[in-house]
Amino acid sequence: MNVRVKTIIIAIIDVALAAYLFCAITVFNRTDDDNQLCAAVDVQIQDDVVDGFLDNSEIVRLMKQQKIYPVSQPMSKVDVRKIENVLEKSPFIDSVECFKTIDAGVVVKLTQRMPLIRVKRNSGDDYYIDNRGGIMPNNRNAGDMVIA
């Protein structure tokens, strides 16, 4: 009888511990996103060695133009996937990673396409070729670029 009581007590403790862990992971770990407003956007350009193509103000301008700028929006309505998808459509961006921070901020990490050569044709075409062989439009002049 003594062994049976110990087994029942251990089973009850296991069930109680499993229920507590489940609640700790799901219920108690939620933040109140409805009341928090996005405080800041941190744009991090991973490889900003090419001057003149992308900078933080250009990314913020693009987000505002596409109406996806999250500052002053409720954190529950900030869609980081939509921000990633919109920014990846830019001809100057190679990849984007966007995520929310615990202090009501949004971080946008991106890598830009790296132009290797500028092409100016007699027909008036003016574009860049990047390190993967893709064509990038010319939106402004960049220094230190080979012109072919």
Distance CA 136, CA 118 (A): 9
Helices (H), 27-72: 56-65
pLDDT per residue, tens digit, the chain (148 aa), is 577 888 999 999 999 999 998 878 877 666 555 578 888 999 988 875 655 577 888 889 989 999 999 998 888 888 999 999 999 988 888 889 999 988 889 999 998 877 777 787 788 777 777 777 777 777 665 555 556 5
Rounded to a whole number of angstroms, the distance between the first and last alpha carbons of the chain is 91
Distance CA 29, CA 23 (A): 8
Do the Cβ atoms of 140 and 130 come closer than 8 Å?
no
Helices (H), 56-112: 56-65, 80-88
